[in-house]
Structure 1
């Protein structure tokens, strides 16, 4: 192969499932086992030796040479790299578990007024009190996460000094799920002595966000809940209005969680406007990433949105360098780094759903779309169009419709084991509801965020916000009609007990397929040469 093509990445054979996918799945499995108490953490004296041994495995994997007639041994390299990933995950999650134990013991000794609370999510009103998640800064300098309960509404980004009552987690399902997310217990606020915002620009951004949310909460409607969720990353109003069950029956719960689709809509509109201004590629990509970063910070940096932003940065870098992008490799590498830096993400349902759905789309979206096209071609009656082609607008519309339907099917099937454990239902109208929700959701997001930004600055600033409200009212009516259908959703058994078995089977299947693919490519290359 010429050097120029090799540098550009054209025609380079790649396994369908990259090695980074095995590393990510193995890392998540080990971290979940340690956080769930099924695997004891390594002794503190062995952590350094474990990391050094893992680095030595990297050197061995990189220098795995040849045997016999020169055939490489990809299996050995993959196994060594898997050992590296699991060793690091074991060590880092063990450190997190020990830190959680120390913080839990300290919280039981110190007075609540000596701690500083940083609210990490908007509080949700239920059963006479407001609840949210917060980070506690202890007198010793350690930090940990707790569930926070208060009689007053608090907003994400607030710093609280207050008198609290500490309660450890119970030994039940909720307690186990909380520990998996890095939460050590619950604090109930008795009285608040001071409230302030984080210092710097981030605090001013969060203060502006809370002002906009207070305006939306003052007139609680479904459209206001949609705007608060998709534009400001606050699902609190939607939960208080009981929208979760209806969205789950329609398969539209993901629309309220800020993720890659939200960033894609916002950045695509910005890139289109900048392209019409004839802006060069590098400044255009920088502006798009800056907008995405601002939106992620505005919404509180949820893991799914951070993952999407990092993947977008990777794709932009590949485009600037003139190299071929590989979405699945980027997804797995970004997910692996995030899981190692914060092992509690392995216990976050939103993070796992984001990874699994995007991985399924990378692997199966195009084959599913082609299969649907072939199936519809066979079902078409012979007198419909004959050999004549559809007009170009209709052809493009049908192509987009099939792509959206295939993406919805793939995402639903990929996340089925996780969703059955978390929600217990399977939406039978999800492909249809996702297809019908595209236009109102896109228009509502595209007009809602600018409307919030311009509100109070210009006399016509209410117009985009009113358009957004109309779009989300239409979407709410659609959700209500579809969720009311008799067979909109069916119950599913809880697959939580076999989840590790499913993930282990996926690791084994991916490992075998990848190694066989690499050996076939190596044989084919030697045969051609």
Structure 2
């Protein structure tokens, strides 16, 4: 019997990308990264040291033998399992040994810094410092008296210290803790944080390196990055100084659009520079080796000129590996070059396995090399229009076809890069940019133009008359880039909050990738259309569910030492206060909130308004409300964030005003007169009620108001017996009296406070007063986010986690 095989058309065969070979170095790279991360994260007992050293010596010899055997297996994909397995095993053991040695260096540096004063060390600033809420932050190398490196630390300074400068100072050293920040710092090779109290001496770097950095400062001064958004983006793109971008608030727009990688000096910049150099050197009579060496030298100078950011260093190493391969007569293979460069970096510096930027670079490039051409081909098949019969195609049709093909290529690369980095970005940032593929497609040409013009303007800095027109053109293109960027960032649902664990996302990604690689099916337009329709339908259903089907509830969100209370019902949601920082956007993501009808800021303390800026571009908002008299007192930076978030300035609400959120009603019961929002007593107090389908709930949301304000509300009759109390001022000793607790008689009381806070919140006096009134007392620092739902027989309460072995469902139908 003759088998009948469906043969695709010649055109499909010609366009269908070949399944790429997987180099054995990819498996070794993954094994080493996982092993190094595991040891740096969880640690390894010192008693394992002698065993690890002995294993490392043996594994090193085995690794050389395995590498020799792998020469024949290169290019055979995944077929040689017997050869790949020993290589992976050896990589795991080597990674564990390197991780153990790196862990020992971090611990030794922390011990040395903890036992001697900071003034005894020299601190060499690595890269540009970033402005934070309490000054400037950056990395620094710690050097001893002889100039030897002791370790690396985070450096916190009240003033900005320039890249490459050597600093002597009086300060405090704090070693890493066991919290998430401390573990992350340790995995990056940082022993802790040095907080500068007083700088005693600053010495700029000398020699040729110092000359390059001084030239950089001259170029930055000529760009005037603080004068406009376009100049700030130009300075960040050409000189690698991103501080002006952050100070002007543009980093939120970059994150929302998923294009932060554009402004980070990396492979894209080096590709533009290399292309320009190739065009110039191609007109000379120099040989390929000399031209390549000159190009690499210029690229190295450019990396130093930009402050040697890690992303640029990685891209430069990969360029060197690719060029080295061409010198020995090997054909360029992007995936092999990437894996070889990344493997070398992980072997030489195990701390890169703990750096998010390194992992993002490797994940995106590996994904693009494996599946970029295939996904681009799928998009090409999906968007291909049937040809009309005829001898030839008009020139316009041909041009549009080429444009469509180029768009498919760009979208395919962007989609694959975003998918392969999701297991890293979602846990780290708690969001996913839906606009990213379109933003990359639209902004990439503008970005290439502004970088090219910016590099030319930088080169012409000594010749101001010649630089002026080029710089003006560069700033014009950069300003257009910013206009488009901000317009895209303001689109509805440009960025979707998304909280997910890395492990399940990584497992799903690996399983899907393995299935696609193994099958490598020929794309069929009909099947792709059905898949696209199913995906679109599922996305619409999910968004409708998030927007319209929110259950009626009040959530005291766990945002640390601050307040943020979500009131949601059906298609409406109101947020009362925003907490101190970015934790509020992550908490809203876990609640599935993508749009807020209103944000109420009870008063102007940072722990209640600090999260406003982080919500910009992440959650939609119709309006921001404050107490009467407060609008004129709002700080300039907060006012700007409010305008970005809601599209207009804050609005005032006064005593007796009511806010609606579905079947919830929130009535202002304090203050009764205009206030300036600067004191706890100025806090808006809201009496909440809910009645629907036999379910009810009454509550008092207090902000930071204390016993005097709450007592006045009781005396006026604005509030009485309630089901639920959001405890005032995080449960301080002045929150309320025993008499007030008895008068309110809440079935459940919830305080919002951060673990280990310096104020001791909640205080024993407050807890005793409420428990004395037979109220169940909960605190977010103990049980996480607390959710209160209306019930037929009283509030139904649950918490994010348990405390003291109690059940998560703490109160039901009280």
Give TM-score scaled by structure 2 length: 0.57
- Among residues 330, 355, 358, which one is paired with 2:362 in the alignment? 355
Superposition deviation, residue 386 in structure 1: 9.8
Task: Verify: 1:479 aligned to 2:485, yes or no.
Answer: yes
**SS of equivalent to 2:235:** helix
Gaps of 5+ in 2: 1-17, 73-77, 520-814
SS at match of 2:416: helix
Separation of aligned partners in 2, 1:384 and 1:468: 46
1:97-124 deviation line (CA, Å, top 9, x unaligned): 1111111111111111110000012222
Partners of 1:384 and 1:479 in 2: CA distance? 42
Q: CA 1:47–1:419 in 2, change beyond 3 Å: closer, same or farther?
A: same
**Residue in structure 1 matching 2:21, options 9, 16, 19:** 16
- 1:275 deviates by 1.9
Q: Is the 8 A contact 2:423 2:503 kept in 1?
A: no
* Partner in structure 1 of residue 378 of structure 2: 371
Alpha-carbon separation, structure 2, partners of 1:122 and 1:286 = 28
Asked if 2 retains the 8 angstrom alpha-carbon contact of 1:54 and 1:83, the reply is: no
* TM-superposed deviation, 1:177: 1.6
Q: Give the structure, 1 or 2, with the largest relative contact order (CA under 8 Å, sep 6 or more).
A: 1
Partners of 2:395 and 2:373 in 1: CA distance: 22
1:430 maps to what in 2?
436
1:29 paired to 2:34: yes
| Aligned residue-pair number | 493
**Pair 1:207-2:214 in alignment:** yes
Shift of 1:460: 1.5
Q: What is the alpha-carbon distance in structure 2 between the residues aligned to residue 136 and residue 159 of structure 1? A: 10
Which residue number in structure 1 is paired with residue 330 of structure 2? Answer: 323
CA deviation string 1:199-226 (max 9, x = no partner): 3211221222234335556634222221
Is the 8 Å Cα contact of residues 33 and 39 (structure 1) preserved in structure 2?
no
Aligned to 1:163: 170
- Map 1:250-269 → 2, pairs under 5 A: 250-269=257-276
Deviation at 1:53, TM superposition (A): 1.1
Shift of 1:175: 1.8
Distance change (3 Å), C-alpha of 1:434 and 1:424: same
- 1:110 equivalenced with 2:119 (yes/no): no
Match of 2:49?
Answer: 44
CA distance in 1, matches of 2:71, 2:125: 52
Aligned equivalents of 2:288, 2:69: Cα separation in 1: 38
Instruction: Quickly say closer, same or farther: Cα 1:171–1:213, change in 2 above 3 A.
Output: farther
CA RMSD, Structure 1 to Structure 2 (Å): 3.0
Secondary structure in structure 2 of the residue aligned to 1:145: strand
- Give the aligned partner of residue 491 of structure 1: 497
Which structure shows the higher strand fraction?
2
2:187 to 171, 175, 180: 180
User: What are the within-5 Å matches in structure 2 for residues 21-420 of structure 1?
Assistant: 21-37=26-42, 43-58=48-63, 61=66, 62=68, 74-138=80-144, 141-214=148-221, 216=223, 219-277=226-284, 279-377=286-384, 380=385, 388=393, 390-391=395-396, 393-420=399-426
Q: Do the aligned residues in 1 keep the contact of 2:163 with 2:307 (CA within 8 Å)? A: yes
Q: 1:320 to 1:164 in 2, by over 3 A?
A: same
Larger CA deviation: 335-344 vs 242-251: 242-251
Following the alignment from structure 1 to structure 2, what is the Cα–Cα distance between the partners of residues 447 and 89? 43
Q: CA 1:373/1:387 → structure 2, altered by over 3 Å: closer, same or farther?
A: farther
Rate the CA distance shift 1:499–1:300 in 2: closer, same or farther, 3 A. farther
Compare the two structures and name the one with the higher helix fraction: 1
Deviation at 1:384, TM superposition (A): 10
Change (3 A) 1:359 1:99: same
Change beyond 3 A, Cα 1:471–1:53:
same
Q: Deviations over 1:506-525 (max 9, x none)?
A: 99x59x969xxxxxxxxxxx
SS at match of 1:323: coil
In structure 1, distance between residues paired with 2:42 and 2:355: 16
- Measured against aligned partners, the alpha-carbon deviations of 1:283-306 in whole angstroms (never above 9, x if no partner) come to 322222222111122223333323
Which residue number in structure 2 is paired with residue 441 of structure 1? Answer: 447
Contact 1:451 1:464 in 2 (8 A): yes
CA contact (8 A) 2:236 2:264 kept: yes
Could you say what secondary structure the match of 1:164 adopts? strand
For structure 1, which runs of at least 5 residues remain unmatched after alignment? Answer: 1-12, 67-71, 515-529
Change (3 A) 1:384 1:373: farther
Tell me by how many angstroms 1:488 deviates: 0.9
Q: Is the 8 A contact 1:197 1:204 kept in 2?
A: no
- Give a deviation string over 1:399-429, Cα, whole Å, max 9, x none: 3222112111111111111111122222222
Contact 2:29 2:343 in 1 (8 A): yes
**Alignment partners' CA distance in 1, 2:223 and 2:103:** 39
- 1:381 Cα deviation after fit: 6.1
Determine whether 1:468 maps to 2:465.
no
- Higher-Rg member (1/2): 2
- 1:352–1:282 distance in 2 versus 1, CA, 3 Å: same
SS of residue matched to 2:92:
helix
Please name the residue that 2:796 is paired with. none
Q: Provide the rounded CA distance (Å) in 2 between the counterparts of 1:499 and 1:393.
A: 40
Q: Is the 8 A contact 2:231 2:479 kept in 1?
A: no
2:456 corresponds to: 450
Alpha-carbon spacing, 1:161–1:330, altered in 2? closer, same or farther (3 Å):
same
